[in-house]
Chain A
């Protein structure tokens, strides 16, 4: 089948959560009002439990160790696999976009990753033997695929017994908010072909045979960012419209207040951009 789901017309928010130590092509480049190397969107992600350098957790509850073999399916611009590579793990990035995959492989070479592989694939099937990887990441991918069950079975197959999975999809509330604002292609192939209810998403994971360990809801900042983005009539890259810059500034001020973290948590639960599940393949 001609699945083109990795080739996204719209960049997912995740892609903008580039590590501050990244290559410099990220969203922080043009923002002079922030200190060098500081990216407010990355700080928000950090506050949501992502990119925990101290504990080597990609997301709280999802630690990466040098002995891990990590597969990132639909790796996009690869901030997640990059984090894993910095931990010294073996990393495998899979995406349908050959050019992108080649570029990522190149940039991963500068990291202490113990081995690097890249795969150009639509994941149906994955050109990997069964039970070979210990960590599987699929961020904002399932909403693009024709057959999520089939896709999840394939991820299950390649995981070793005890392998851990980190799967995210957009949250329904945020998707519904954007419904009346986005161009029709947003909800058409190869973009978002389905919206997952929270229980539906959980059922998909458990029906595959995985055991859920943790659920996370995050990204109020991005929900509002995207809603405002649709009024801006510009491309999805910097320089950002003044309204987006001002929104980013507002959010950044909030996060640095003593009560900011608490309010972010409540808002993230109230209107998350994404829902994440950490699950495990039984041993």
Chain B
């Protein structure tokens, strides 16, 4: 454990990333209970994300110092920073050169990462040799791409035998509900062009040759926050509408209650924001 003191902005961003990669993150503002990202952090951690003590991005997916980690579609780099803070070698890719450069600079300046390289590409193909990485993360990306199966095959190619994969996409229950409220453009290119049913998502992973180790779903807090967001008709940036603040407070109270985790579990299973699969490339 090399990072007991990481409570800074980067960690806040880290939590928001999996549910919410496409959202602009708040600038380095003080953390307060009314901030949905603060609440989202507490919520994600209760669900097994970003476990500082055990160096797991998600329970079952641990980053070691000697790992070579590829983060595809790194966006704001929340998960990338978590891995970089473990000292691992980092390869981060995104179609947006500005984002990639900024993230690389941040990793080199602020983390004990042993090496860091940015790749500006759309992942088909990745400019990497076969079997070169030990950990692959691709969070909330596959719903945006034309050919998800081709991307997963490409990820398979670059993984060393035994490499572990962390793959997330939005959960279909929440997506179908958002569809009723969201402007049509949210479900058109370059936004979400696929909704993956849970079995379909698993099949996508196994068809590429990966072996599933864990399935996971969480994020009722964000799923419902999004429903309310459409009602609030505000921009996707603070200050947040009183409606969103009130929901954040509601969830914050729930998380702090001794029995709150039971309620969270039931609601997370019913309508998660995100479904995650941890898988491995066979030896």
Contact = CB atoms under 8 A, between A and B. Distances in A.
B253 A253 contact: no
Contacts of B232: 257
Interface stretch (B14-22, B195-203, B243-251, B274-282): B243-251
Contacts of B32: none
Central interface residue in A228, A233, A242, A270, by most chain B CB within 10 Å = A228
A181 B263 CA distance: 7
Interface stretch (A143-151, A197-205, A260-268): A260-268
B97 to A, nearest CB: 37
A246 B246 contact: yes
B187 interface: no
B250 A263 contact: no
A277 to B, nearest CB: 24
B263 A266 contact: no
B227 interface: yes
B249 A246 contact: yes
B233 A228 contact: no
Given A181-B262, A231-B257, A266 B246 contact: no
Interface in B218-236: 227-228, 230-233
A254 B266 contact: no
Interface size class of B (residues with CB under 8 A): 20 to 34
A231 B243 contact: no
Contacts of B243: 250, 253-254, 257
Interface in A166-213: 177, 180-181
Given A230-B259, A231-B262, A260-B231, A253 B246 contact: yes
A249 to B, nearest CB: 5
Contacts, number: 73
B239 to A, nearest CB: 15
A259 B246 contact: no
B263 A228 contact: yes
Contact of A233 (B180, B249, B259): B259
Given A180-B266, A250-B246, A257-B243, A263 B253 contact: no
A266 B257 contact: no
B98 interface: no
Contacts of B267: 177, 224, 227
Contacts of A231: 254, 257-260, 262-263
Contacts of A260: 231
A43 to B, nearest CB: 15
B180 to A, nearest CB: 5
Nearest to B249: A246
B129 interface: no
B246 A177 contact: no
Interface in B8-65: none
A171 to B, nearest CB: 13
A257 B246 CA distance: 14
B195 to A, nearest CB: 16
Interface string A235-275: 00000001100110110011001111011001100110000
Interface string B159-200: 000000000000000000100110000000000000000000
A111 B194 CA distance: 58
Contacts of B254: 228, 231, 243
Interface string B135-168: 0000000000000000000000000000000000
Contact of B181 (A177, A233, A263): A263
Contact of B253 (A227, A246, A258, A259): A246
Contacts of B253: 242-243, 246
Contacts of A267: 177, 227
**Nearest 4 interchain pairs by C-beta:** A231-B259, A250-B246, A246-B250, A243-B253
Interface of A: 177, 180-181, 224, 227-228, 230-233, 242-243, 246-247, 249-250, 253-254, 257-260, 262-263, 266-267, 270-271
Given A177-B267, A227-B267, A254-B231, 11 more contacts: A181-B263, A228-B263, A231-B259, A231-B260, A250-B243, A250-B246, A254-B228, A254-B243, A257-B232, A257-B243, A266-B181
